[in-house]
């Protein structure tokens, strides 16, 4: 039957937000002014029904008559200078399709065989063909996943013959042939390829393509964490593997709250009332570099499933996002071949995180954005999630022999194939073309239904083990679940999005919204009923056997038969060499500001690493679930950024959870040890500033690094040393983590761009009384304001101030961790005693930025005095972590409160809306709060058109 077309658009008198947004991008990103209007229409194609049925669906399902109009099988926009339709390529997941099919059936339209949706863009103006092509290629059509529709398709159903299982003649390959096989899709080194060849020589046969792909996925850097497990020789000294050091430091801390560390999809700690909370932070750098919207969406969806797959299953209560980009105003000539512009990346990544979290009803309420020129080849996209569960369900489950292997959630397609291996290799000028199949598009509504069903299954004790189908799909999920017992999978039972997939593609697909379960046979019917009740597809695809083997079948033929011991333990041991690099930049100090203080202060506040990120935060629903006690912004103006998020995830209870993080890639480029200590101290400082008890906090590490050559590996080794030293000094353990070690770009001419090394330290814990927490905004006029914490103001390397003055120093802020522990303990006790009115930690921008942000929230000014023997600019702009600006009540003695730690009375708040700085009895300068506020808000408003 013919394909019916429905077009829907807003009434002419209403705004077209999608069209207006694109017009903004055209004018700001491309500087094209000849296009003066853009209108959009949604296009739906429906196969298998009549035109009358299409009209019925258009009226009852696809449009809203109050503010929209529609047409069936005819144009709806007829006066445009040019009309362009953009759709996903065939085979790319379109999240709307399943909803359309289900809703049509619910409305009684049962003949709908297939559906699709796209957007039509109408351009008005006197633009040239070249200008329109710029809009299409740089803004509108990501050729990785999208295409321009030139003619109406005759059919929508994707049909194809199942691909055959090929035999790979690896036993007869020489070294050159082995590496040719590995290049572009396996990403294994020669020693690893030889080990695979030797295994198959021993069992006297050649592997199938499915077996080769399974080994590549399991042994990938992304899944196998090979660098972190390698033996190291650092500057000639033998050291323990990085992962072992982190695990041993956590074990030595013996933290009483830790229930599960480095064992499951997330780390778990005890909460209150026999509950537990868990946290996981992940990266999605490589997919986001290719298709930022889909990459960011599936990053969020994947880390949510990590929480859903922890223990016997947890409810997701919070989402976080931390991004690193090149400056959004980077000129096109500086963007490497095969890479997207950072401004486009930035906006699309934010949109992806927004849409997934908002649609699932998960608050995104903590995050940060960082900028550095060397992220221009590859961004860093970090997403985190936190959950709650019964403590009794917190331990990782294990399948039993005879358990049924179940796949629940979305169907399987070509989405994400080679995602794990692709994310383990360097990015090159060819990446966009070679690895386009590694990109996926998420479906948040599917995952919401899945989450609801699994929580009921958990509460009814139907699940022995659960994990998500993340990197590597079925291969990773069932391969890991069955590692100690063995599993048999029948691939032809797996529900597919369309026909034509080869068995190995079904096995390795990373299609989203899927979870793998181990369920006792007697509980299978009840599980399937729960899934039906929630409109979640669930299919028994195999069983756990007790054979110790991974056996995969398709159509009665065995396409994979691997010994679990070889699959998981056969990876050759690796010894890696790390060598220290030398700093090549000569020290250079800035000139003293003298008479241009207001200019310098404004430049600090509008620096991309300091400025307000409110236009990003406001598109996230941080209030959904009704649990957000301390929002991202606070104060009488609602403009003061808080340091952490505090949630009350159990309604009616006074206890809550705290979430924070810290990172500073700029410092890591200069001194990875000091920069990593800074990141950990910043994470904890953010939590403690909001009222958290330092004794009830735990940490998560995320290392996002260039490809580990000798110099980058040395930096990584120093960062891990910093983490273990921090644990030893504070007693706060790392209980979960992730490494992503492929952020190097290699161009066709051999030139290399490495990202700044990124260590993101996330921090979470419990708070026994949410009413005792603290926000950052100043509360009282003439309030006493103190600087608390130890710092050496000469340590200015990596600071915002040195950046705006084109200065350099190798002396970055190094936190005294022992003193830091005393400081946060004293600050927390002061909060318990009710002495702290407001608190804000010092980070990028230094003391001046912290004071300004507190004034923004309190709608007041401040007058401070700099001790006469200090260089004033260093005093104001030093960025030592672990230091705090604290407003105290009038009735307390700071000598008693901060005994044993460093503190200084800075001054007092004022009704006059100025920031006044005095030194040696003289006014050094005065700058209006309004000026600082406007410059602080300006950059992101320009980026997002707010």
CA neighbor of 662 nearest in space, from 721, 713, 602, 722: 722
CB 543 within 8 A of CB 483: no
Tell me how far apart the alpha carbons of residues 117 and 121 are, in angstroms, rounded to a whole number. Answer: 13
* DSSP-assigned states of every residue in 702-758: EEE-S---HHHHHHHHHHHHHHHHHHHHH-PPEEEEEEE---EEE-TTS-EEEPPPE
305 is in an annotated binding site: yes
Burial degree of 444 (CB within 10 A; 0-12, 13-18, 19+): buried
Compute CA distances 741 → 347, 419, 703, 717, whole Å: 25, 14, 8, 13
701 is in an annotated binding site: yes
192 is in an annotated binding site: no
HEC string for 142-165? CCCCEEEECCCCCCCCCCCCCCCC
Count Cα neighbours of 217 within 13 Å in the Cβ-side half-sphere.
30
CB 289 within 8 A of CB 427: yes
511 is in an annotated binding site: yes
SS3 665: helix
Burial degree of 525 (CB within 10 A; 0-12, 13-18, 19+): exposed
Two structure tokens written together for 300: 């969020």
Catalogue the active-site residues: 222, 284
483 is in an annotated binding site: no
Reported for 135-141, long-range contacts at CB under 8 A and 24+ positions apart, including other chains, are 135/22, 135/26, 135/30, 135/32, 135/35, 136/84, 136/86, 138/29, 138/30, 138/341, 138/344, 139/22, 139/25, 139/26, 139/29, 139/30, 139/344, 140/22, 140/84, 140/86, 141/86
Burial degree of 160 (CB within 10 A; 0-12, 13-18, 19+): exposed
737 is in an annotated binding site: yes
926 is in an annotated binding site: no
CA neighbor of 657 nearest in space, from 736, 733, 769: 769
Q: At what angle do helices 929-944 and 846-858 cross, to 10 degrees?
A: 90
SS3 213: helix
CA neighbor of 287 nearest in space, from 445, 498, 510: 510
Tell me how far apart the alpha carbons of residues 247 and 184 are, in angstroms, rounded to a whole number. Answer: 33
510 is in an annotated binding site: yes
CA neighbor of 283 nearest in space, from 713, 755, 631: 755
Tell me how far apart the alpha carbons of residues 397 and 485 are, in angstroms, rounded to a whole number. Answer: 13
Tell me how far apart the alpha carbons of residues 466 and 311 are, in angstroms, rounded to a whole number. Answer: 7
SS3 355: helix
CA neighbor of 363 nearest in space, from 610, 187, 621: 621
424 is in an annotated binding site: no
Q: At what angle do helices 710-730 and 817-832 cross, to 10 degrees?
A: 40
Rg (CA), the chain: 28
460 is in an annotated binding site: no
CA neighbor of 121 nearest in space, from 32, 45, 42, 40: 40
Tell me how far apart the alpha carbons of residues 787 and 886 are, in angstroms, rounded to a whole number. Answer: 6
512 is in an annotated binding site: yes
Residues belonging to the binding site for substrate are 305, 440, 510-512, 740
Residues belonging to the binding site are 280, 282, 305-306, 440, 468, 510-512, 701, 737, 740
Residues belonging to the binding site for ATP are 280, 701, 737
């Amino acid at each position: 039957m013919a394909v019916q077309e429905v077009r829907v658009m807003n009434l002419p008198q209403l705004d077209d937000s999608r069209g207006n947004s694109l017009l903004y991008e055209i004018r700001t990103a491309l500087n094209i002014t000849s296009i003066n209007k853009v209108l959009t229409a949604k296009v739906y194609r429906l196969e298998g029904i009549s035109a009358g049925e299409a009209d019925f669906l258009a009226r009852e399902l696809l449009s809203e008559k109050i503010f929209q109009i529609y047409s069936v099988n005819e144009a709806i926009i007829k006066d445009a200078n040019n009309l362009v339709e953009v759709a996903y390529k065939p085979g790319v997941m379109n999240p709307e399709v399943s909803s359309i099919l289900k809703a049509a059936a619910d409305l009684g339209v049962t003949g709908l065989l297939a559906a699709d949706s796209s957007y039509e863009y109408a351009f008005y103006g006197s633009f040239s063909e070249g200008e329109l092509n710029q809009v299409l290629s740089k803004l509108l059509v990501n050729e990785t996943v999208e295409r321009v529709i030139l003619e109406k398709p005759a059919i929508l159903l994707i049909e194809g013959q199942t691909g055959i299982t090929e035999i790979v003649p690896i036993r007869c390959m020489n070294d050159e042939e082995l590496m040719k096989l590995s290049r572009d899709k396996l990403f294994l080194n020669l020693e690893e390829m030889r080990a695979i060849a030797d295994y198959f020589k021993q069992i006297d046969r050649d592997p199938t393509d499915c077996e080769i792909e399974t080994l590549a996925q399991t042994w990938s850097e992304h899944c196998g964490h090979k660098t972190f497990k390698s033996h190291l020789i650092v500057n000639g000294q033998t050291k323990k593997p990085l992962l072992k050091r982190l695990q041993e430091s956590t074990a030595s801390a013996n933290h009483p709250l830790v229930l599960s560390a480095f064992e499951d999809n997330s780390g778990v700690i005890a909460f209150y009332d026999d509950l537990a909370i868990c946290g996981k932070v992940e990266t999605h750098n490589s997919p986001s570099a290719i298709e930022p919207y889909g990459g960011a969406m599936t990053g969020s969806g994947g880390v949510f499933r990590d929480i859903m797959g922890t223990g016997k299953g947890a409810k997701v209560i919070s989402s976080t996002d931390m991004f690193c980009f090149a400056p959004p105003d980077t000129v096109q000539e500086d963007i490497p071949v095969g890479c997207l512009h950072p401004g486009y990346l930035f906006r699309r990544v934010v949109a992806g995180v927004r849409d997934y979290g908002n649609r699932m009803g998960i608050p995104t309420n903590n995050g940060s954005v960082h900028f550095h020129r060397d992220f221009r080849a590859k961004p860093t996209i970090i997403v985190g999630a936190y959950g709650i569960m019964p403590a009794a369900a917190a331990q990782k489950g294990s399948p039993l022999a005879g358990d049924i292997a179940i796949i629940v959630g979305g169907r399987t397609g070509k989405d994400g194939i080679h995602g794990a291996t692709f994310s383990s290799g360097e990015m090159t000028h060819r990446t966009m073309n070679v690895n386009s199949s590694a990109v996926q598009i998420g479906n948040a509504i599917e995952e919401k239904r899945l989450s609801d069903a699994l929580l009921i299954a958990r509460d009814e004790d139907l699940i022995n083990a659960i994990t998500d189908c993340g990197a590597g799909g079925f291969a990773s999920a069932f391969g890991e679940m069955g590692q100690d017992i063995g599993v048999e999978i029948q691939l032809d039972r797996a529900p597919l999005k369309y026909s034509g997939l080869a068995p190995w593609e079904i096995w390795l697909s990373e299609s989203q919204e899927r979870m793998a379960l181990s369920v006792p046979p007697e509980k299978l019917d009840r599980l399937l009923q729960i899934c039906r009740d929630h409109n979640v597809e669930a299919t028994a695809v195999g069983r756990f056997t007790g054979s110790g083997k991974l056996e995969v079948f398709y159509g009665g033929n065995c396409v994979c038969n691997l010994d679990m011991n070889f699959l998981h333990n056969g990876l050759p041991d690796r010894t890696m060499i790390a060598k220290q690099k030398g700093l090549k930049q000569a020290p250079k100090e800035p000139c003293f500001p003298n008479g241009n203080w207001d200019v310098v202060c404004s430049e600090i506040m509008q620096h991309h690493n300091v400025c307000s990120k409110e236009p990003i935060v406001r598109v996230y629903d941080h209030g959904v679930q009704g649990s957000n006690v301390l929002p991202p912004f606070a104060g009488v103006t609602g403009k003061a950024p808080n340091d952490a998020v505090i949630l009350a995830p159990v309604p009616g209870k006074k206890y809550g959870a705290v979430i924070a993080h810290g990172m500073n890639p700029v410092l890591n480029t200069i001194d990875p040890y000091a920069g990593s200590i800074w990141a950990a101290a910043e994470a904890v400082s953010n939590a403690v500033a909001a009222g958290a008890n330092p004794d009830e906090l735990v940490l998560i590490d995320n290392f996002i690094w260039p490809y580990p050559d000798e110099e980058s590996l040395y930096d990584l080794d120093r960062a891990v040393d910093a983490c273990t030293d921090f644990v030893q000094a504070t007693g706060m353990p790392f209980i979960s983590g992730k490494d992503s070690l492929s952020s190097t770009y290699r161009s066709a001419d051999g030139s290399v761009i490495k990202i700044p090394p990124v260590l993101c330290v996330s921090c979470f814990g419990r708070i026994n009384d949410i009413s005792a927490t603290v926000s950052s905004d100043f509360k009282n006029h003439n309030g006493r304001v103190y600087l608390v914490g130890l710092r050496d103001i000469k340590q200015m390397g990596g600071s915002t101030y040195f950046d705006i003055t084109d200065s350099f120093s190798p002396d970055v802020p190094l936190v005294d961790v022992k003193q830091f522990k005393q400081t946060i303990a004293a600050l927390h006790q002061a909060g318990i005693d009710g002495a702290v009115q407001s608190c804000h930690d010092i980070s990028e921008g230094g003391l001046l930025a912290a004071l300004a942000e507190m004034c923004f929230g309190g709608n007041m000014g401040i007058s401070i005095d700099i001790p006469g023997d200090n260089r004033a600019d260093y005093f104001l702009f030093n960025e030592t972590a672990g230091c705090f600006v604290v407003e105290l009540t009038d009735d307390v003695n700071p000598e008693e409160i901060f005994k044993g730690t460093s503190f200084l009375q800075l001054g007092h708040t004022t009704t006059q809306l100025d920031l006044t700085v005095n030194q040696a009895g003289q006014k050094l300068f005065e700058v209006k709060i309004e000026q600082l506020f406007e410059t602080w808000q300006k950059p992101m408003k320009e980026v997002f058109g707010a």
